[in-house]
Amino acid sequence: MDPPMRLVQGAGAAALLVLSITMAVAGERLADPTRAFVEGYDPSGNDFLANVPERTVLLRIRADFDNDGVDDIALSDSSTWGNAGGQWLLFRGQPDQSYVYWGTLFFSPGAAVLLPQAPGTSEMAFYVRMSVSRGTVQVYRLTSDAISRVSERSLNLERSSDRERYEALLRSGPRLPVEYCKLLEYRRAAATCWQPGLGLR
C-alpha cells in the first residue's frame, strides 16, 4: 500500500466547507491564548462563543503542530461544531513561551493526524465529512511562516478502495490530544477544569 501521504494527494472535488487560513498580525504575541479567546480574541471573524455560557464547552489541543520542539495550541468551542467537526484557531508557540495567532482550520480531532516532515515542518491530514459516506481528505503544511493547503481528495467510504485510504490515514500518525472544559467552570477554575476528550455530549 502507498504511504499515507500519497493516499491523499490528487485533485478532489471542491469542498462544501470553507477553510479560512489567515496569517497573524505581525508581532502580536499572547501570553495566554485560551484566556484571550474566552475574552473574545478572534482574528478569524468566526462565530465563536455564540451559545449561552451555560451551554458552551471550550476545546483545546496542545501539541507541536509544526515539529519545531515548541508546543502550540488550537482552540475551539461548541458553538462552531456540527457532525463534521468545528473551527479551530491555531496559535504557534514561541521560544519565550508566548503565542502568535497562526490561522484557522475546520476539522475533527478524531479524524486528523499530524505527520512531521522535517524540523520546523509538519503536515496535518484530516477527513472532513460531507455526508454519511462521503467527504474529503485534506492535507495542510504547517511551518513557522504559514499554514498552506497541500492537497484535497474526495472519498466515498462505501467504495472499498476509499475506505482503505481513510483507514490508512487514521493509522498514519497519533490522534490529536484534545481536552475540554465547560466555559462556566473555566471562569471559576481555569487551571484545573480541563479533562480529556471532546465533552460535547
Residue 24 scores a pLDDT above 90: no
**Among 35, 81, 74, residue whose Cα is nearest residue 183:** 35
pLDDT at 10: 35
* Residues 82-87, mean pLDDT to the nearest whole number: 90
Structure pTM?
Answer: 0.84
pLDDT digits (tens, 9 = 90+) for 93-145: 999 999 999 999 999 999 999 999 999 999 999 999 999 999 999 999 999 98
Q: Is the pLDDT of residue 22 over 60?
A: no
Q: Tell me how far apart the alpha carbons of residues 16 and 128 are, in angstroms, rounded to a whole number.
A: 10
User: How wide is the angle at C-alpha 44 spanned by C-alphas 72 and 194, nearest 5°?
Assistant: 45
49 dihedral zone (left: phi>0; alpha: psi -120 to 50; beta): left
Contact in structure between 61 and 124 (CB atoms under 8 Å): no
Of 168, 155, 174, the closest CA to residue 3 belongs to 168
Cα distance between residue 116 and residue 173, in whole Å: 9
Nearby residues of 190 by Cβ (< 8 Å), 6 or more positions away: 34, 35, 181
Beta bridge partners of 149: 140
What pLDDT shows up at residue 84? 87
Q: Kindly report the average pLDDT of the chain as a whole number.
A: 86
Residue 36's pLDDT band (cuts 50, 70, 90): very high
Average pLDDT over residues 65-84: 94
- Cβ contact 124:108 at 8 Å: no
Instruction: Please give the Cα distance from 126 to 164 (Å, whole number).
Output: 15
Question: Does the CA dihedral 64-68-69-71 come out positive or negative?
Answer: negative
Q: What is the pLDDT of residue 16?
A: 27
